[in-house]
A = this chain, B = another copy of it.
Amino acid sequence: MDNTVIDLASVRSICQQCGINKLCMPMGLERNDLDQLDRIIKRRRPIAKGEHLYRGGEAFTAIYALRSGSVKSYLTHESGMEHVICFKLPGDLLGLSGINGSHYTNSAVALETSSVCDIPFNQLEHLCQEIPGLQHHILEMMSKEIQEEHEKIAVCSKLPAEARLASVLLTLSGRFHQRGYSATEFNLSMSRSDIANMLGLAVETISRLFTHFQDEGLIEADRKHIKLIDVARLTALVKLA
């Protein structure tokens, strides 16, 4: 497995240097495979807050791995109404739902300055033919997305407002933790209204809940900055209801 001699400034692929690679792509890939993958990936210069990565309806050409920052993906109803689907963090993949139908079915917009890797999909597919581990990884990532959506539907359609917000906070906490950041203290890059939208609630409700959580000593919230104080009680909120 570990056939690496310490060859410092060698031709290490960018993927290998990238701290998030365990999340987004490679996993147990051999060095050679990683290099191949690396070769098809295009890096972009940073994307500014508010810039779109892609929009619903555009031709599907690539999936994206978020390297830094955060991105919101959303559907646009024909009435023009937006529905926020999820918030992506570094290591997450974007655009997978575009595979079927060869057009993106949702839009992705940066919530802050972010950077992404473009992974041209047809090339990725070819590579999957040669690298079984890569194919498996893609399947796993898609499977995980399906799992997450199932979970999200359960939360949004079964739990009261309080539990939904608690769930979002805890989920974010867990995801930050996975990425090596604090699980109890973080900054929200999304607005209250994005959160409300995703949870199918009114902004006012979210705002009230934030103050309520704070009054109850569950969290400390200063604008975007959130500190989880009583994780146990937050967790209980989600379970109960």
* Contact (Cβ within 8 A) B75 A151: yes
Q: CB within 8 Å of B: which of A110-153? A: 125, 128-129, 132, 135-136, 138-147, 149-153
* Contact (Cβ within 8 A) A158 B83: yes
* Contact (Cβ within 8 A) B152 A153: yes
Chain A, interface size category, equals 35 or more
Q: A79-B239, A132-B129 are in contact. Are A96 and B143 (CB under 8 A)?
A: yes
* Contact (Cβ within 8 A) B100 A144: yes
- Residue A129 contacts which of B75, B135, B157 (CB distance < 8 angstroms)? B135
Residues of B within 8 A of A78 (CB): 239
Indicate if A97 sits at the interface (CB-CB under 8 A). Answer: yes
Residue of B nearest to A146 (CB): B97
Q: Once the chains are docked, how many angstroms separate the CA of A238 from the CA of B142?
A: 28
* Contact (Cβ within 8 A) B147 A100: yes
Q: Once the chains are docked, how many angstroms separate the CA of A97 from the CA of B149?
A: 10
* Contact (Cβ within 8 A) A139 B125: yes
Q: A106-B150, A132-B129, A135-B125 are in contact. Are A100 and B200 (CB under 8 A)?
A: no
Q: Once the chains are docked, how many angstroms separate the CA of A110 from the CA of B154?
A: 21
Indicate if A173 sits at the interface (CB-CB under 8 A). Answer: no
A: residues with CB less than 8 A from B are 75, 77-79, 81, 83, 85, 96-101, 105-106, 125, 128-129, 132, 135-136, 138-147, 149-154, 156-158, 198-200, 239-240
- Nearest 5 Cβ contacts at the A-B interface: A157-B200, A149-B149, A99-B143, A100-B143, A83-B154
